[in-house]
Amino acid sequence: MLFSRGFSRISRTGSSRGRCLFSILREQHQLAPSNHFHSPRDSSEMALGCRENYSWGSCAFNGFGRQIHYQSSSIVEEQLDPFSLVENELSMLANRLRSMVVAEVPKLASAAEYLFKMGVEGKRFRPTVLLLLATALNVRIPGPASDGVIDSLPMELRKRQQRIAEITEMIHVASLLHDDVLDDADTRRGIGSLNFVMGNKIAVLAGDFLLSRACGALASLKNTEVVSLLATAVEHLVTGETMQMTTASEQRCSMEYYMQKTYYKTASLISNSCKAVAVLAGQTTEVSMLAYEYGKNLGLAYQLIDDVLDFTGTSTTLGKGSLSDIRHGIITAPLLYAMEEFPQLHAVCDRGLKNSADVDLALGYLGKSHGIQRSRELAAKHANLASAAIDSLPENDDEDVQRSRRALVDLTQIVITRSK
Amino acid sequence: ALGCRENYSWGSCAFNGFGRQIHRQSSSIVEEQLDPFSLVENELSMLANRLRSMVVVEVPKLASAAEYLFKLAEGKRFRPTVLLLMATALNVHIPGPVSDGVIDSLPMELRKRQQRIAEITEMIHVASRLHGDVLDDADTRRGIGSLNFVMGNKIAVLAGDFLLSRACGALASLKNTEVVALLATAVEHLVTGETMQMTTASEQRCSMEYYMQKTYYKTASLISNSCKAVALLAGQTTEVSMLAYEYGKNLGLAYQLIDDILDFTGTSTSLGKGSLSDIRHGIITAPLLYAMEEFPQLHAVFDRGLENPADVDLALGYLGKSRGIQRARELAAKHANLASSAIDSLPENDDEDVQRSRRALVDLTQIVITRSK
């Protein structure tokens, strides 16, 4: 099997939706935020990416060296680490998540706990985006922010938005649990996957459990539009997964199909959650759509870079990545582009890429093509669209609002410039 | 003839061959027994069609998987029948807010929404069976290859997810967060019940209380919460909604208890003629739990796990000597009566359809406990 313990870049059937942004770090190797990017430890550990992990992007930002402290606002503002802005809130969120998934049945409780264990120390990418967005959209409007309930207290609104972040995490983790069962995955983020450790049965159940808790939490928000948004995201996750599992030949070679599948699997959850945050804040339809567009484009950009990194790893050269997608016959953006330049690739892909000679052949074509380049360009395009969405938000002088918006823009760049 | 373990259309196999199809004569003459299922027959087949079309997806493979499941439910669909009858039974024609801000003054609109509850309930039920099959590694269900055996566990997980996700979407479309909460709770209970069954420690396996709790979660919670949802959509009071809930809950419990018995007796009244699938899977149900109260020796037999056919025979022997079957029947009857009285406690209503549906619901409680398969 290709998964070396923890560090191989695994993105196979079922979860090519994303890897963590940066390298996996096991708990004991966790870098303190101030560490420089290149640690003296084994660089190969850091070089390899990880499969989508429970806290999307958490490992990514450990080692992210740009921790320049915010100086007084009268001096030129230097680059902020977006994650530090919401750090405290995130750890409270993590605790609340734990209490939300307490189950009556011990086995189920420990299964649910298992999932959140990994994410606690790392940065949680989705919740970070959502919390930053909540601040970025802060307009302090009293008045109906949900069906008939007047959220005039910013605190109350914030709590509800935090709940969206929690719900999003639960849905995300539930989908990962099932994906692992579907993929027969034996590791997730460097440790045994739940299905591997406790069996498929409990993994399926735990996923269902999380999903039902998420639905219950959604209902408690008493906002039917928000319920719809997240229900749609759930449907999309399943649709994306089934698209991936059952792709017929002509679809596998279609960029359009691939982007649709990627939207379903990776971008829909974050985009609909972003929109939900805006809806809860009582924002206009227009602003809610901007929030949606931000999430969507950020998600797509993320996945495209993920695809590239699966080939390149931390180097810029081909074949240094974990190559897990291609080895599982998953044809991602770079190859799809390459196929446009080299139609011969079509036949190679049709054979299913099960043969390592075919894999090498495909890589050869890829190397000769502009596939990687064009994927990066597409990612950059989506990153810019995300950025533009933030820039289009209604003007707001509030310092916190501006800082969060800057952070959201920074994230779009982080997503596309990361090298693992 | 053999009883079946929880099947896709709860009670469907029970009601094939149900012979009491007496036609209703004019209302001035004494009303004879109506077949509850005939009251909602047409509506049910429309529901079945809608369910089919609801599962149309972009991915053909999964759609055929979902189809597979609904095809299995050839017989009468028990849950939707209960829910549709309940919808009529609670019909009060009240205009006014019945969901978050949406005024359902049109009975037609309300009916459609209640039908949607029935569809959602079926989807959740089938999804939970799919994931349950995966868990049980069952290789047959209802006598033909179960989905997971035929198409692989993965498709079963995915198909279950697919149904659950569509159920979420359909729930959201009702724009009633209380209803969402109820059905979310039901899903959670299904999972909890399944987990309880998987992970039962020794002392819990021998506890009647634990068993009833598990049974509530696995069998009764879905129907009880759906009944309550139907009532809520109709804009009923909390009190009436709770009566609907109690009906569903007690009906579900009664059903399961008889199911337990039939697993031992089959269509005969003698022991050992049923499929004995529970006991062979080491699942200790009500009759055995009662028997254990009379014969504590059974405890040790259970602790050994009932994997040994000799132990199974031993347990059956004790069961035969005990009043286990009898007491389980009595408990079922008790719950059936509780269900019945919940209907009788509903606010008076002269409407003919309402009365007929209520009678049908009461009849169902009797059907559930007198059935022999």
Compute, in degrees rounded to 10, the torsion defined by CA atoms B187, B193, B194, B195.
110
What pLDDT score does A200 carry?
A: 77
Give the chain A residue nearest B134 (alpha carbons). A201
Quick: pLDDT tens for B183-234.
999 999 999 998 888 776 777 778 899 999 999 999 999 999 999 999 999 9
Distance from CA of A205 to the nearest CA of B (A): 6
Selected residue of B154, B183, B200, B203 to mutate for chain A interface (largest A Cβ count, 10 A): B154
Name the 3-class secondary structure at A166.
helix
pLDDT range class, residue A13, cuts 50, 70, 90: very low
Enclosing H/E stretch for B263: helix B238-265
Residue among B131, B168, B185 whose CB faces A235 most closely: B168
In the predicted model, what is the mean pLDDT of residues A168-186? 83
Q: How confident is the model at residue A84 (pLDDT cuts 50, 70, 90)?
A: confident
For residue B57, the chain A residues in CB contact (below 8 A) are: 239, 242
Q: Tell whether A149 is within 8 A of chain B (Cβ).
A: no
* The pair of three-digit structure tokens given for residue B142, joined into one six-digit string: 């209802």
The answer, for A252 touching chain B at a CB cutoff of 8 Å, is: no
Q: What is the pLDDT of residue B55?
A: 63
Dist CA A33 CA A53 (whole Å): 19
Of these ranges, A25-34, A141-150, B153-162, B174-183, the one predicted with the greatest mean pLDDT is B174-183
Predicted local distance difference test score (pLDDT) of residue A183: 72
Q: Is B366's pLDDT higher than 90?
A: yes
Q: What is the C-alpha to C-alpha distance for residues B358 and B344, in angstroms, rounded to an integer?
A: 8
Residue A222: partners with Cβ closer than 8 Å, 6 or more residues away: A146, A147, A149, B100, B177
- Residues of chain B with Cβ-Cβ distance to A181 below 8 Å are 153-154, 157
* Radius of gyration over every alpha carbon of chain B, rounded to an integer in angstroms: 21
CB B185 to CB A237 under 8 A? Answer: no
Asked whether the beta carbons of residue B188 and residue A209 sit closer than 8 angstroms, the reply is yes
3-state secondary structure of A321: coil
CB proximity A411 to B under 8 Å: no
- Report d(CA B345, CA A152) in Å as an integer: 43
Distance separating alpha carbons of residues A281 and A347, to the nearest angstrom: 51
- C-alpha A120/C-alpha A95 separation (Å) is 9
B321 in contact with A, Cβ within 8 Å: no
- Shortest distance between the Cα of B126 and any Cα of chain A, in A, equals 13
Contact yes or no for A128/A83 (Cβ under 8 A): yes
Q: What is the pLDDT of residue B178?
A: 93
Q: Which residue has 């099947």 as its token pair?
A: B7
Task: Flag whether residue B242 sits within 8 Å of chain A, measured between CB atoms.
Answer: no
Query: Is B168 in contact with A234 (Cβ distance < 8 A)?
Result: yes
Judged against a pLDDT cut of 50, whether residue B30 lies above it is answered with no
pLDDT for residue B148: 55
Residue with tokens 């017929």: A248
Taking each helix axis as running N to C, give the angle between helix B221-233 and helix B78-89, from 0 to 180 degrees, rounded to the nearest 10. 30
Query: Which two three-digit tokens encode residue A353?
Result: 């890429």
- pTM (two decimals): 0.80
Give the whole-number percent of chain A exceeding pLDDT 70.
70
Query: Cα dist. B94→B91, B105, B180, B236, B319 in Å?
Result: 8, 7, 22, 9, 52
Any chain A CB within 8 A of the CB of B10?
A: no
Residue range B74-94: mean pLDDT, rounded: 82
For helices B41-54 and B60-72, the axis angle rounded to 10 degrees is 160
Residue B330 pLDDT greater than 80, yes or no: yes
Residue A33, pLDDT above cutoff 60: no
ipTM over 0.90: no
Nearest CA in chain A to B179: A219
Hey, is the C-beta of B58 within 8 angstroms of any chain A C-beta? yes
Task: Give the pLDDT mean for A393-409.
Answer: 94
- Domain annotation for chain B: domains and CATH numbers: 30-370 (1.10.600.10)
At residue A215, does pLDDT exceed 80?
Answer: yes
Pairwise CA distance, residues B279 & B302, whole Å: 10
Q: Do A208 and B131 touch (CB under 8 A)?
A: yes
